[in-house]
Structure 1
Amino acid sequence: MTTLSTARTASPQRPTRARWTVPARLRKSILVTHVVSAGAWIGIDVLSVVLVAIGWVRAGDDRTAVYRALADFFVVPLPLSALTAGTICLIAGVLLGLATKWGLVRFWWVAVKLVLNVVACAMMLAFLGPITELATGEQPLQDIWFVSFLGATALALLSFATVLSVFKPWGRVIERTARVAKSDHPG
C-alpha cells in the first residue's frame, strides 16, 4: 500500500511538499529489482564487448562466422534483454527517486545516473543496426570500430553509474545552484 504524505521541513522558507512514501518491504523490493536489473545489464554489456572483441581479432572467414553467430544470438535476444534490463532499471530508479530522500533531481549523482541510463539504452538501440549489417556482409568488417565503441562506452557508462551509486558525490542540486547564484550577485 502506498500513501502520499505531507512532509514538513524545518525551514520556514521552504514550502510544504508532498512525498510519496512506500512501505519498507516494497521499497527494498524495488531497490533489489533496481540492483539486479543493473547487474544483469552490465553482464549483458560485458558479454557483447567480449563477443565483438573475439570477432575483431579473428581473420577472414572466421571473423565473418563470429559476426554471423553474434548477429544470430546477439541481435535479437541480448539487446532486447539489455533494453529490458535497462528499462526495468530506469523504472525502478525513478520509483526509488520518488519514494526516497534522494529524489529524482534533488542530488547530482541521481540526476546523472538518470541521464546515463537513458543514454546507455539509446546506445543499445544504436548497436543493433551495425552488428546486423556486419553479420550479413552489408557493411565492411573494418567498421567494427563503431560497434566496439558503442559496447565499450555503454560498459563505461554503466560502471560509472555504479560508482555514483556507491560514493554519492557532488551534493544537492539546489544547494549548488543557490551557491552559484549567490556568488553571481555581490553584496
Structure 2
Amino acid sequence: MATGQGWRLGARTRKWYLVGHLVSAAAWFGLDLALGILAVTAMVTDDPAVITTSLHALQFFAVWPMFAASVLTLATGTVLGLSSRYGLVRYWWVVAKLAVNVLMAVLILVALRPGIDAAGNPADLLPPVVVAPSLLLFSYLATVFKPWGRVRRTPAGKTLVRDTA
C-alpha cells in the first residue's frame, strides 16, 4: 500500500520478511560463534590432528554460508526498512546497522576468506572471532534499544547531522 513516505508491506508479508531477517541474522551469529569455537579449539590444543580438522572445517562453512547469511540479512533488512517508518537513513541506529552489515559482508570476502585459506597459525583468526560477534551483538542491541535520534539533512540537503531534539 502506498503512503506519503513510500510503500508499506501487508501485515502477513511483513511478518514473513521479519522472520527471514531474524532467521538469517541468527544463522549469521551462530556461524560466527562456530567460527570462534573452531578457531579457539585450534589455538588451545596441542594435537595437530585437531588443529588440522578445525581449520579444514572452517574452510567448509565459514565463508560462503556466512556471506549468504549476511546478504539475506541485508536484503530482508532493506525491504523492512524501506517499507516501515524507520527507513534506511531516517534513524541513526538503522544507518549504523546498515553500515555494520555492509562492512561485515565485505570483510567476509576480502579478509576472512583469504585469512582462513592461509591460516597456518590459528591465532591469526582471533580478530574476526572477537570483532564479528561483537558487531552483530551491537546490531541486535541497536534494534532493541533504538539509540540516538533521527537523521536530518542540513539546509543544503547534502550531509547528515544528528538530530538532538
Corresponding residue of 1:69: 53
**1:64-143 equivalent positions in 2, closer than 5 A:** 64-125=48-109, 126-134=111-119, 139=120, 141=121
Alignment length, in residue pairs? 157
Residue identity matched to 1:76: F
Using a 3 Å threshold, how does the CA distance of structure 1 residues 178 and 115 change in structure 2: closer, same or farther? closer
Question: Aligned equivalents of 2:162 and 2:112: distance in 1?
Answer: 40
**Cα shift at 1:177:** 2.7
Offset at 1:91?
Answer: 0.3
**For structure 2, which runs of at least 5 residues remain unmatched after alignment?**
154-159
- 1:179, 1:98 → 2: CA distance? 20
Using the TM superposition, name which of 64-73 and 158-167 deviates more.
64-73
Instruction: State whether structure 2 residue 3 is matched by structure 1 residue 19.
Output: no
Please give the alpha-carbon distance, in whole angstroms, between the structure 2 residues aligned to 1:97 and 1:91.
10
Per-residue Cα deviation, 1:97-153 (whole angstroms, up to 9, x for no partner)? 10000000100000000001112222322112222223xxxx4x2xx3331101210
Aligned-pair CA distance for 1:163: 0.3
State the Cα deviation string for residues 58-84 of structure 1 (Å, max 9, x = none).
12xx2x433422333221323211111
TM score, norm. by length of structure 1: 0.76
- % identical equivalent positions: 34
Distance 1:179 1:43, change over 3 A: closer
Cα pair 2:149 2:163 within 8 Å, conserved: no
- What amino acid does structure 2 have at the position aligned with 1:44? L
Give the 3-state SS of the residue equivalent to 2:39 in structure 1: helix
Amino acid of the residue matched to residue 166 of structure 1? V
Question: In structure 2, the residue corresponding to 1:177 is in which secondary structure?
Answer: strand
Superposition TM-score, scaled by structure 2 size: 0.86
Greater Rg, structure 1 or structure 2? 1
Alignment of 1:149 onto 2:127: yes
Paired residue type of 1:161: S
CA contact (8 A) 1:120 1:158 kept: no
SS at structure 1 position matched to 2:152:
helix
Amino acid at match of 2:29: I
Alignment gaps of 5+ in structure 1: 8-17, 181-187
Distance in 1 (CA, whole Å) between partners of 2:162 and 2:106 is 33
